[in-house]
Amino acid sequence: MSARPTVRAYIGLGANLGDAAATMASGVAALEALPGVAVRGVSRLYATAPWGFTDQPEFRNAAAGLDVAGGTAGAEADALDLLASLKAIERSGGRQARARWGPRELDLDLLLFGRHRIDVDRSDDARSIDADADPTKAAKRLEVPHRHLRERLFVLAPLADLAPRLVPPGWTETIDTRRRIVAAAEPPGSIRVVGQWDPASGRWLPAGDGPATSSGGAS
């Protein structure tokens, strides 16, 4: 029997409560443990200024590249299944329902799912954990590429570590080109590298103590 085809998906990770880097590293381990999923790369760890609601601690952000085994129901169903798994990992990481753009114990976003463009209603288990506290989240659909990917440097920077030359479906520019455009409009110090992923230990080491580049990934 031949192996099932895989889809390269990219996940954004973020947190700003507790030991954010440790919680995010546990999130990466949980992604690796998902059936039919293999983590192929993890970006550097970034410290980023809060976005939207600024009166809160700075965030830690990163990205992970996954190979996801395809099912028989199609890309939309596979993406929804993956999103439901992300929500379950958030809950296991202590995620609490809060208002939009508020602090997070752990946030996992599905940024890209292969070459697919997806716009579909969420299943109940793929709804945002904040849906009960934020009516706008309750009505939110799954959109891939992620609807805010083009404008958020805290997502573009780690994603560019893994796939700088990738042109997402519906775009006309690469991830790294878009990163540079958005970075030029950001105030100085809004984002900085604070860690390098160490596959051996499954965590980020302080910047300068780890390998010179991010671990794995593909364009």
Residues with catalytic roles: 95, 104, 107, 109
Q: What is the Rg, in whole angstroms, of the alpha carbon atoms belonging to the chain?
A: 16
Dist CA 14 CA 87 (whole Å): 13
23: which 2 tokens?
């919680």
How many C-beta atoms lie closer than 10 Å to residue 97's C-beta? 13
Give the residue from 68, 11, 75, 64 showing the smallest Cα distance to 41.
64
- Exposed/middle/buried for residue 140 (C-beta within 10 Å: 0-12, 13-18, 19+): middle
* 8-state DSSP, 169: T
